């Protein structure tokens, strides 16, 4: 004899980002939601009757749809909005919303760093014939800007559906490795200045693509740090996809995004003197 | 003076699954692609001119579009197809395709396990007043079937866009934890038989939802293993989303999917006697 | 006014492996323990008085020490042994032990595979001048044998403390990538046979080091698969360190190990014709 | 016919931390090393002759041993020291050292935060009977201090080998979740002040144990934030183990540590009013 006990259903790992445009500076929210419901759904388990089972896909869509007008930095307030919305439905008897916010540090009016995975890299190779290479690098420096980048004028073929973007949110995790032609007297200070140059060019310079943004960073490093002879970049395009709200009959204000980890645009290049 | 050196662009972590329907049994491919191109794109870096930059989104779409008719278990052969397609474009001078295939073990005509993360769980709680609970469980038992599950008849509201599915691919990572009312004489043998019962019910029983599938598994365990008094399940719905090929003017044969890790449907329940 | 509520302490992520030597075949247990205690330790929180706080290091040592004679595949039974041991101490009022077992699949009398992370790899590089390279590989094929490998006769310097090992447990995660001089007619069948050759040589051949074991695998692949011109291996030595029980006054039977993820011996080589 | 090609060996994922004591403030280095060698070791592969194979365990020990006197923030300089040491050995023909440094942000003379994984948490539970719970939390706030914590006076049994520590490095990843009896008018500002209180108490207060440190944090939060009725902590003790240099005949200055991820002391408690 088997008897259904406590049960819940919903959607987890719902990732959502939102830009709150401001006069002097944009704010940026990067969130992950979990929404779990309970209700009178015994027939779904025992008889396969789904008439009370709100699809988890709908739960996910609701988070994006309500976020456009009602999500602010008061996360608890938005959690209450979501609970109210769910409890108003027939057959839902309880709702629990959990929101996790990733911290981004403000670096400029529209620019942010999202720390944590960042590493300073140093390497030395030497052989018994006296050959030596010394280099340094940075891995996992996560940056984001809420505008100041475009992607237009690209070739289109039968599989191209990407719209042109005159101004888009741009985010990447910078990995750069460079070679020292001559070792600086203070390697730590040099490393800090390379990091600073890259951040400035990312946040301050408008770009036409990830490639263009990367070139502006690489060129500035070579211009300003004479000891470096060569620098290589890997710039994964960490997409924040527009979430289309118009299919729900809503005006789409283009402030709500769906951040995705997979797949990512993969841009790699080397710049020499 | 800065000079652009070697450079490549493309898309990484492109996840694609494909069902190859067979007479006696389906085959199932679970793949991750990386496609990297090089070509005459210096102007993109130096001047922001994207006219030769095939968008990485197009590269991704190409993988899905060509997979429908040309992808088989000959992965190297499909890699060549992709290289040929890319090299036929103006301005592309080299292409590299890397494909990683996750192994799934056949368990039935349409059922597979995808091992690795699976753990046997045992736990004992005891206090100085003589109270004791002994239980066991399984975590991370990844299963997939290429059909034999539906999801229809669910309620629709203003944010519901999910189509009804009469027959769908279903995949989950089973986590189940149970309590022993009485300790079996051979806990390892009992654990193996619980695992076997769950796999059989997942692969052999048609279900109307994840909830329904879970109930059929839980009920069978309680029916067949008298020592267990209660069992709880967590069944994340690991979505393999249909990839819409009709927007490229192709007939969509519904064999090519986009597996996603985030978000996931989150189904949790307990069954008692 | 603050008041201490429910609290527990103990050790988590305690990794332990054990070889149970058998007549025909060894058994191998790969486990992770969590032991959480509660008791009368309010003074530790409020006054910094540790006289009732069993160190979590001791809890960890207890798991290893009792495992030597009392751990079998009856994990629940060993959980009870640990609970009894803890509850016999003054001031401990409850204990909870959770054990997670990783599954290894038997491949020979002393050999196992530990699946999950394994990937089949295929790659194709082509340029517009007609140059093409096609290769394949395997990543993350985890293997372990409970004997049949030695490491002796190595040079010693002022920082060498490693004892010589005439017969040791050996585990690695095989990553191998090879180049096809000529494409086989059935790339899937060829891949399966390379995999099989590597497993056979790992499980059946005695080796004097990881390097030696790798050479035996590589040479066999080149001997038996004429289409392959070159193969490269990465063989991280996934150490299972002997856990020294003699410091507790126990006879050390050399069956209990401490598996560690970091650091690892890093062996890489290429074999050509 | 098989021929050994390029090959290297060494140790990867060697984690080392070092405290550089200062007058006004300590500096703290958290590093991961990879050291790869090549040399005349063909006989090791082909004949199992290890007489030229420097054990990877020795390579690891060398990193710790030389770090005590020669490691500073000039990572490239220390990389050169390691290369020189390796190349001085007979039969080693090349060496490559790669060092990755995790960034810690200074918060006080001896206190640091190591960002990245930190998340703000908000949750709301509501049912159709009008019951509501609102709470917030912080997850993954990584902190470390180079002194100001002890662990002495604990009970000893037959498996206790842990030495008493009058002053030790302490690191944890704070997870705290609290319940609001009354919702603050500005939930974001309240969250920031809870975070600040926890950091202050961790960095400024001497503690006799993780439990004691946690109590001081919890009590201060309840004292200073009247809206919070209850707070729960999970404080994994992220051990930086002393690396014993005396076995190499070196004076051990107690500045070089081995950070380990597994196992960890697991401390959990709730504080109410």
The DSSP secondary structure of D151-180, one letter per residue, reads: B-S----TT--PPPBSS--EEEEEEEEEEE
A87 to chain D: which residues are within 8 Å by CB? 126-128
Provide the angle, in degrees to the nearest 10, between the axes of the packed helices B187-204 and B210-224.
Answer: 140
Residues 6+ apart with CB under 8 A from D158: C248, C249
DSSP state of C187: H
| Catalytic, out of B60, B85, B145, B239 | B239
Q: Structural domain boundaries of chain C? A: 9-102, 106-272
Q: Looking at residue A117, what is its pLDDT? A: 81
* Consecutive 10-residue averages of pLDDT for chain B (273 residues): 92 93 89 94 93 94 94 93 94 93 90 84 90 92 91 92 92 94 94 95 94 95 96 94 92 91 92 94
- Among D90, D122, D137, most A C-beta atoms within 10 A, so best to mutate, is D122
A157 to chain B: which residues are within 8 Å by CB? 54, 58, 89
Q: Which CATH architecture has domain A9-102?
A: 2-Layer Sandwich (3.30)
Q: What is the pTM of this model?
A: 0.90
Q: Is A60 a catalytic site residue?
A: no
Q: Do chains B and C touch (3 or more CB pairs under 8 A)?
A: yes
CA dist C147 and C139 (Å) reads 23
With contact defined as 3+ CB pairs under 8 Å, the chains touching C are B, D
CA dist C143 and C253 (Å) reads 24
Tens-place pLDDT, residues A252-267:
999 999 999 899 999 9
CA B177 distance to own-chain centroid: 22
SS (H, E, C) chain A: CCEEEEEEEEEEEEEEEEEECCCCCCEEEEEEEEEEEEECCHHHHHHCCCCCCCCHHHHHHHHHHHHHHHCCCCHHHHHHHHHHHHHCCCCEEEEEEEEEEECCEECCCCEEECCCCCEEEEEEEEECCCCEEEEEEEEEEEEEECCCECECCCCCCCCCCCCCECCCCEEEEEEEEEEECCCCCCHHHHHHHHHHHHHHHHHHCCECCHHHHHHHHHHHHHHHCCCEEEEEEEEEECCEEECCCHHHCCCCCCCEEEECCCCEEEEEEEEEC
Q: Which helix (H) or strand (E) holds B196?
A: helix B187-204
Q: Looking at residue C268, what is its pLDDT? A: 93
Q: Which CATH architecture has domain A106-272?
A: Roll (3.10)
Q: Is A85 a catalytic site residue?
A: no
Question: Are B36 and A266 inside 8 Å of each other by CB?
Answer: yes
Task: Pick B3's closest partner by Cβ from A49, A161, A273.
Answer: A273
CA dist A93 and A91 (Å) reads 6
Task: Pick B273's closest partner by Cβ from A1, A14, A89.
Answer: A1
Tens-place pLDDT, residues D75-86:
999 999 999 999
CA distance to partner chain C, nearest, from residue B10 (Å): 14
Question: Are A125 and D183 inside 8 Å of each other by CB?
Answer: no
b vs e for B21-35, b when ≥16 Cβ sit within 10 Å of the residue's Cβ? eeeeebebbbbbbbb
Q: Is D145 a catalytic site residue?
A: no
Mean pLDDT, range C192-202, rounded to an integer? 95
Mean pLDDT, range A32-54, rounded to an integer? 93
A213 to chain B: which residues are within 8 Å by CB? none
DSSP state of B256: E
| Catalytic, out of D18, D60, D239, D240 | D239
Question: Are B51 and A155 inside 8 Å of each other by CB?
Answer: yes
With contact defined as 3+ CB pairs under 8 Å, the chains touching A are B, D
Is the pLDDT at A173 greater than 90? The verdict is yes
Q: Looking at residue C103, what is its pLDDT? A: 86
Task: Pick C101's closest partner by Cβ from B87, B119, B134.
Answer: B119
C134 to chain B: which residues are within 8 Å by CB? 76, 79-80
The region of weakest confidence among A66-75, B41-50, B108-117, D26-35 is B108-117
- Asked whether the domain spanning B106-239+249-272 has the same topology as the one spanning B9-102, the reply is no
| Catalytic, out of A62, A239, A240, A255 | A239
Name the residue of chain B whose CA is nearest to A206's CA.
B48
Q: What is the CATH number of domain B106-239+249-272?
A: 3.10.270.10
Question: Are D103 and A83 inside 8 Å of each other by CB?
Answer: no
DSSP per-residue string spanning chain D: --EEEEEEEEEEEEEEEEEE--SS--EEEEEEEEEEEEES-HHHHHH---TT---HHHHHHHHHHHHHHH--S-HHHHHHHHHHHHHTSTTEEEEEEEEEEE--EE-SSSEEE--SS-EEEEEEEEETTS-EEEEEEEEEEEEEESSSB-B-S----TT--PPPBSS--EEEEEEEEEEESS--S-HHHHHHHHHHHHHHHHHHS-BSSHHHHHHHHHHHHHHH-TTEEEEEEEEEE--EEEP--GGGT----S-EEEE--SSEEEEEEEEE-
D65 to chain C: which residues are within 8 Å by CB? 159
C104, C36 Cβ separation under 8 angstroms: no
Provide the angle, in degrees to the nearest 10, between the axes of the packed helices D210-224 and D187-204.
Answer: 140
Task: ipTM value, please give it.
Answer: 0.88
Neighbours of C190 (CB within 10 A): 19
| Mean pLDDT, all residues of chain D | 93
CA dist D89 and A172 (Å) reads 43
């Amino acid at each position: 004899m088997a008897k259904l006990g406590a049960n819940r259903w919903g959607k987890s790992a719902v990732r959502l980002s939102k830009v709150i445009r401001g006069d002097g500076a944009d704010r940026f929210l990067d969130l992950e939601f979990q929404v779990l419901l309970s209700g009178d759904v015994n027939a779904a388990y025992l008889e396969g009757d789904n008439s009370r089972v709100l699809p988890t896909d709908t739960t996910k869509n609701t988070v994006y749809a309500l976020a456009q007008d009602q999500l602010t930095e008061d996360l608890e307030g938005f959690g209450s909005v979501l609970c109210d919305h769910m409890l108003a439905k027939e057959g839902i008897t309880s709702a629990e919303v959990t929101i996790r916010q990733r911290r981004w540090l403000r670096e400029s009016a529209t620019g942010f760093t999202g720390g944590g995975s960042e590493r300073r890299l140093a390497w030395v190779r030497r052989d018994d014939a006296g050959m030596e290479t010394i280099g340094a690098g940075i891995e996992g420096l996560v940056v984001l800007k809420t505008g100041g980048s475009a992607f237009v004028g690209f070739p289109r073929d039968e599989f191209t559906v990407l719209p042109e973007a005159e101004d888009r949110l741009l985010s990447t995790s910078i990995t750069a490795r460079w070679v020292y032609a001559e070792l600086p007297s203070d390697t730590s200070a040099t490393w800090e200045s390379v990091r600073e140059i890259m951040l400035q060019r990312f946040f301050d310079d408008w770009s036409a693509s990830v490639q263009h943004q990367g070139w502006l960073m690489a060129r500035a490093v070579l211009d300003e740090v004479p000891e470096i002879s060569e620098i290589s970049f890997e710039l994964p395009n960490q997409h924040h996809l527009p979430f289309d709200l118009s299919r729900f009959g809503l005006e789409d204000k283009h402030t709500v995004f769906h951040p995705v980890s997979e797949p990512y645009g993969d841009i790699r290049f080397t710049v020499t003197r």
